[in-house]
Structures are given as C-alpha cells and as structure tokens.
Amino acid sequence: MVVRRFLVALVVFSLVVPFSLSAMAQEKKPFEGVVLNAYFIGGGAYEKLYTKIPEFEEQTGAKVNIAAKLSHFELNKRVAQEFASGGDIDVISTHTTFAPGQKDFLLPLNEYLTP
C-alpha cells in the first residue's frame, strides 16, 4: 500500500511540476513581446549600466531597442526632435542636471514606486 501511494504521488508530481514550472517561467517574463525604444546617455560611466540590459531582457521578456546613445546635449536635442515628429520613445536616460530640459518629455514615476 505504501509503494502504491508513493507511485501515485510520483505520477502526480511528474504531471504537475512541468505545468507549474511552465507557469512560473511565464510569470517571470511578464513583458514578453514588448519592445522598449530607448534613448540613452552614451559614454563614460553610463556604458557599464547598459551591460545589464540583456539580464533585464531575460528576466522580463521585454526587448530594449537602443535607438541612440548620445551626449547629454545631443540627447536633449534628439529627444526634442523625436517628440516633435511623433517619434516612438519609451525610455530616456537622463541626469538631474539635464532633466529640467527634458521635463516636457518625462512622466513622473511616483505612482509606480513604493517608499
């Protein structure tokens, strides 16, 4: 009787676990198929940050399309041009010094963050 219970438990486990793992894998990639068009500050210390993008893509399922990596001044100019022409920008990297020049293009994230 103990052997039979063990075998039944083993069969149930072998049937349930693959479905559970599949569901968990899908939960880990909630943004599968989403493409984020990103305009980044390029050069210097910023480049190391961008080496994390593949990890972000793997964990979320989202794809990051780096449309531009420019200096602060060039980035502000390019972002203004893109918005004026109806460009598709999802992410802008910035610096506190340059954020005021981008205020018309930035969305507050407060409601998405917890203190």
Task: Answer whether residue 71 shows pLDDT above 60.
Answer: yes
- The predicted structure's pLDDT at residue 25: 54
- The predicted structure's pLDDT at residue 27: 66
**Across 6-10, 70-74, 109-113, least confident range:** 6-10
In a domain, 41, yes or no: yes
| Judgement on whether residues 36 and 77 belong to the same structural domain of the protein | yes
| Judgement on whether residues 19 and 62 belong to the same structural domain of the protein | no
For residue 5, the enclosing domain spans 1-29
C-alpha–C-alpha distance, residues 62 and 53, integer Å: 10
Average per-residue pLDDT for the chain: 79
H helices of 28-99, in order, are 46-50, 53-60, 72-84
| Judgement on whether residues 65 and 18 belong to the same structural domain of the protein | no
| Judgement on whether residues 45 and 90 belong to the same structural domain of the protein | yes
| pLDDT tens digit sequence for 80-100 | 999 999 989 999 888 888 888
**For the chain, how many structural domains are there in total?**
2
In a domain, 114, yes or no: no
| Judgement on whether residues 48 and 102 belong to the same structural domain of the protein | yes
In a domain, 111, yes or no: no
In a domain, 115, yes or no: no
Interval 26-30 mean pLDDT: 76
| Judgement on whether residues 56 and 101 belong to the same structural domain of the protein | yes
Of 67, 73, 69, which Cα lies nearest the Cα of 98?
73
Interval 37-47 mean pLDDT: 92
